[in-house]
Amino acid sequence: MSVSPLTAPDAERLPAPKAKKVPVIHTAHGHERLDNYAWMRADNWQEVMRDPATLDPEIRAHLDAENAYCEAVMGDWGGLIGELHKEMIGRIKDDDEAPPSARGPYEYLSRFEKGGQHRRYLRRPRGGGPEELLFDANAVSKDFDFYNLGGFGVSPDHKLLAVAEDTQGDEAYRLRIKDLETGNWLEDSLYPISGNFTWIETSGGLLYTTLDDSHRASKVWRHLLGQDGAKDALVYEETDGAWQVSLAKTNSRRFHMISRGTSGSNAVFLMDAGDEAAEPRLVAEALPDVYYSMEDQGDRFFILTNRDGATNFKICTAPLDDPRADNWQTWLAASETCLVEHMELFDGYLVRDETERALPRIVVHDLASGEEHTIEQDEEAYCLTHFGASEFDTRVTRFSYHSPTTPTRIYDYDMATRERSLVYQQEVPSGHDPARYKVDRFFTKAKDGAEIPVTVLRLADQALDGSAPLFVYGYGSYGMSQSAGFSVTRLSLVDRGVIYAVAHTRGGMDMGYQWYLDGKLENKVNTFTDFIEVSEDLCARGYGREGEIAAMGGSAGGLLMGAVTNMRPDLYKAIVASVPFVDVLTTILDADLPLTPGEWTEWGNPIEDESVYQRMLAYSPLDNVTAQAYPHMFVTAGLSDPRVTYWEPAKWVAKLRELKTNESCLIFKINTTAGHFGVSGRYDRLIEVAEEYAFVLRAFGCA
């Protein structure tokens, strides 16, 4: 079905919002930058994240005007948005259920009820029996415009349940505790926490982390049941603003682990998980660009680390009673080509999650015999996720497998017999024929010689003659790899003839840890040029044609979108930038903003280093908007977002409106009741995806 080409609305009939200009000069290292839209940042931004109603009325009026304009532009797209949304819902099993996970005397499980936006959490006796409802997130969510269950944990004695809930979208959680024997909620209530907590093995209390004024998880506390939260004991405080703390427990459940970390570096403190008065003890001091994680088994620790030049990570062992770095002994040497991303330890097995040439694998090592094997997979591109098990003394682990054409399958895997049992098969109620599609995997040769992985999903009978609409997705930051997995949403594009490609650019870890290092700090521009070169190569191979490409990225991927549209606006027809990190230099210069000090190891510190300032200035999307033609653009933001503050995309859109020289369509939607990850609820979230896809299809003139 063809539709009229996407154009900017008639300016007389529907004028775009025009933000006022209040010139502000930012000065650093003797260099001045003009910012006409700095007024969009609320002075009380911290309060606004907690309570959006406190936003300055003038700022709110401008954001409301942008939303009204967005709604007006998309007003006649309602049929297409509704059609897309209906399709996506039709691919979701209404009463989907996760496979049960055994722990102690129970099997724990969760499911959606028909029409439910959120899960219900249940348990039953191990081996079968009547179900017991533990927590109904769907029922609780109905009292809020936004709801996210960020933490869920049953106590070791199975008598208590702790939940961490975010009802604003600002990722500040309230922890509540339920007595599972009586069904009553205890008076214990802790707020604001980060959502990260671990139970003490006596079941008499828990450890949790709290947020400071900059939204940084900075303190670890011990809460004993029935105790006034104001009297909780401070266990650890991180005073360096560039570092955050997190909590975990080893698989054996013998130790709490407090990790103080920043991008690429960390230090671990251990605590006896069964001692209500335990104090943390440091394992190894943090070193620049060195990361380590650990698990215990028997009388030793296993440590996964890139210490001593092990770029793709090695595994070491150390005595349980003295795990200092001086005692680390190499157990598995680092590989030149294979990244060890994660390890899972059981009583008799060690399981490694590895990645080589952008494909994952799972390797099982028998600690008694020393034998190991790889769990084989057979598709050209796929996503493999190792869940592990909720028990330590087991020989059964769990993993999921899916690919761009294959819906998710979850298997229980017997590490001794090597037999796999299917425990979950994703259903697509509206029907799905994998043979209708084809997956291509190839490598784009960058100008500097790097080989950039590319994954493509398309119709199997599609001609590669450049005539198809081409959609390219990218991210490329923080070492986050892009999976080649199944998506019920992207089929709505592919079924309409759009070729969907993922560019696995530098900045992720798709090709190993060095791939991440080659896309951060002084190498950040590689992320942008990789994406451009992949886009060009796709066209050269017949997947599309230059100037007729849609591209999408969110958060740091939104930075990618901003950079490539400044560098090569002629290459792209339409851009979707979701919660985009586009005022990167201003943000990273402001140590008072949420999480900024912790970002310096990812981007550099432009406050102290002029060369970093100049480097970031050269690619900062907002700073490099110029008077030129730009693609059609759909930009989104969240008012409660603590990761990418709302004013970044708001300022960017205002400057684009001011300077772009063509009649491209530019719309901006800000969610005033959600944060970084958009609206909550599995069906409502799909509305946002449907809007983005409708924008892309309208840009291509097909629906």
DSSP 8-class letter at 52 = G
Contact 416, 395 (CB under 8 A): yes
What is the β-pairing status of strands 666-671 and 106-111?
unpaired
Other C-beta atoms closer than 10 Å to the C-beta of 29 total 14
- Rounded Cα distance between 194 and 164, Å, is 8
Write the single-letter amino acid at 412. D
Contact 230, 221 (CB under 8 A): no
Alpha carbon distances (Å) from 526 to 5, 289, 425, 520: 33, 20, 39, 8
- Rounded Cα distance between 157 and 162, Å, is 13
Phi, psi torsion values for 596, nearest 5 degrees:
-55, -50
Residue 555 bears catalytic tag: yes
Residue 676 bears catalytic tag: yes
SS3 state of residue 412: strand
SS3 state of residue 604: coil
Please give the angle made by the CA atoms of 365, 370 and 371, to the nearest 5 degrees: 65
Alpha carbon distances (Å) from 253 to 82, 113, 120: 48, 33, 26
- Rounded Cα distance between 64 and 17, Å, is 10
- Rounded Cα distance between 267 and 258, Å, is 8
Catalytic residue among 555, 578, 620, 664: 555
Write the single-letter amino acid at 307. R
Contact 592, 213 (CB under 8 A): no
Please give the angle made by the CA atoms of 670, 671 and 676, to the nearest 5 degrees: 100
Number of H helices, E strands in the chain: 13, 37
Residue 535 bears catalytic tag: no
Catalytic residue among 504, 641, 664, 680: 641
- Rounded Cα distance between 202 and 153, Å, is 14
Give me the torsion for CA of 623, 629, 634, 637, rounded to 10°: 10
- Rounded Cα distance between 349 and 370, Å, is 9
Contact 271, 277 (CB under 8 A): no
Active-site positions?
555, 641, 676
